[in-house]
Amino acid sequence: MTGSSRKVELSVLGIEGANAHWNLSVAALYEEAIRRGEGSLTADGPLVCNTAPHTGRSPNDKFVVKEASSEQNVDWGKVNRPIGAENFDRLEQRMLASLKGMDLFVQDCWAGADPAFRLPIRIITEKAWHNLFARTMFIREPNAEARLQHDPQFTVIDIPSFKADPVVDGTNSETCILLNFAKKRVLIGGSNYAGEIKKSIFTVMNYLLPLRDTMPMHCSANVGPDGDVALFFGLSGTGKTTLSSDSHRQLIGDDEHGWSAHGVFNFEGGCYAKMIKLSAEAEPQIYATTRRFGTVLENVVIDPDSRELDLDSAALTENTRGAYPLTFIDNAVPSGQAGHPTHVVMLTADAFGVLPPISRLSPEAAMYHFLSGYTAKVAGTERGVTEPKATFSTCFGAPFMVWDPNVYAKLLGERIATHRARVWLVNTGWTGGPYGVGSRMKIAHTRAMINAALSGALDHVGYDRDPIFNLQVPSSCPNVPAEVLRPRNTWKDQAAYDAQAKKLAQMFVDNFKTFEATASAAVKAAGPVV
């Protein structure tokens, strides 16, 4: 593509007079980011950037344009907040006008490893390191000639220096994340948090794929030596990335996937892992990425002299992050594709400390817990959240779901039934008491339970029904102490456990009232007993 044709492509978007840098390499983007004071080079090679004051997503600042082509499909509400097309156009004009004379960075990439569902996207950023983040997280075409044929079907324009005017624009604050399915465009302003780019495209895929009878999923995925695929559902901080990075299994992807008639495919070309208190012993593969050139670290504390990392520090936020190419994981699946899942693991970080660490779910219970999506928001993953907070996030990804939750639940249920996948609910949260009293579940114990489930070892043990949560809990598990499997036994005050468990059970029941009109009697009966 020539310089003049590139100017034309920007001009079509309304961008005039900007100095655009197209598809710069990792090294070149490092240089630009450091030269511009956007980040610091660490002793071992990663680039560290500070995103303050936005150290997580801004869900209250995300809007979807209400327009004719998508209006009837969108589940409007707190997640998909409507904004008028005229508001979008007015804000876009001001944003584009602000770009005159500005240096911009452009990356042409793809979302979706399966060629049948691959979405060509263009990411335009003000900051070099945001462009590096996009280059890392999305899929790059290795063939130079094929890259020249790139025809973007969605464009993200990410300008942290641009501030929205809530009075004029109808936004919630100066920060704005606006999605326009008709114009195939995303505008991000007022936030330094690079994760908004990734999550915006995830939202786009969540809208487009159901139109093609394909299930978009907020999950990680891996595959065993025998081709057995496992999915791991869960929100940030529940362990998706950690638990799917297993030296004995190949990683398909750590966060976002599709499940089509052909099998599972990754949306991304990179991983976006939590870094807080990362250890070489517990998470060796992810830890190794913090010592490599090409990794982008967000809000990780470094020594100003030695440039050594302090992964244990939460001085800036609990939500420290690392973005790195999928190829940095030794046993990643190069194609980003695999067959149909045989196991589905739903992860929750129970801040109350009362859910069993692993339970086997019936098909009806699977639908109940998928629709419920119980977990805990972990400190720093969203603005204003300073400690773990119990929440229900439908489909384990409500902030990114566009359609009514039942659309996604139906797609998942059909695939679980068709391919006879076993489903597990795994609590990676607290044991021995609630947050502040008990302790976080040991990663070693969680890994042992998941390994037992995937290997079939839990197919040959007895199960007991939890009388409150109505879950099937294994009587034993290799390499896990028996008392760990029964959270009540880990509490010093078992009466306090009973009270806390009943409190959470009632929260489940109250939350599920949203789905009572559409859920079957069998699904409703699979929930907790109060």
Q: Which residues have a catalytic role annotated? A: 57, 199, 218, 236, 240-241, 255, 321
CB 483 within 8 A of CB 495: no
As a whole number of angstroms, the distance between CA 285 and CA 280 comes to: 8
Burial annotation 441-471 (CB, 10 A radius, 16+ → b, else e): bbbebbbbbbbbbbeebbeeeeeeebebbbb
Taking the CA atoms of 159, 160, 161 and 165 in sequence, report the sign of the dihedral they define: positive
CB 240 within 8 A of CB 345: no
- What is the residue whose two structure tokens read 């009109």? 517
Mention every residue, 6+ apart, whose C-beta is less than 8 A from residue 233: 217, 218, 219, 240, 344, 345, 346, 347, 370, 396, 397
As a whole number of angstroms, the distance between CA 138 and CA 123 comes to: 10
Length in residues, the chain? 530
The CA angle 496-502-504, to the nearest 5 degrees, is 105
What is the token pair recorded at 341? 């899942």
Mention every residue, 6+ apart, whose C-beta is less than 8 A from residue 506: 528, 530
The neighbour count for residue 166, using CB atoms within 10 Å, is 14
As a whole number of angstroms, the distance between CA 486 and CA 139 comes to: 43
395: region left, alpha or beta (phi > 0 left; psi from -120 to 50 alpha):
left
What is the token pair recorded at 256? 């976002």
CA 368 remoteness from chain centre: 21
What is the token pair recorded at 146? 């094929």
DSSP 4-24: HHHHHHHHHHT--S-EEEES-
Q: How far is CA 452 from CA 92, 250, 461, 478, 484, in A?
A: 52, 17, 11, 7, 15
DSSP 360-393: EE-HHHHHHHHHH-EEEEPTTSBTT--S-EEEE-
What is the token pair recorded at 459? 């197919």
CB 391 within 8 A of CB 385: no
CA 140 remoteness from chain centre: 20
Q: Residue 213 phi/psi, 5° resolution? A: 55, 40
**In 14-84, alpha helices (H):** 26-35
Please state whether the peptide bond connecting residue 53 to the residue before it is cis, i.e. omega within 30 degrees of 0: yes
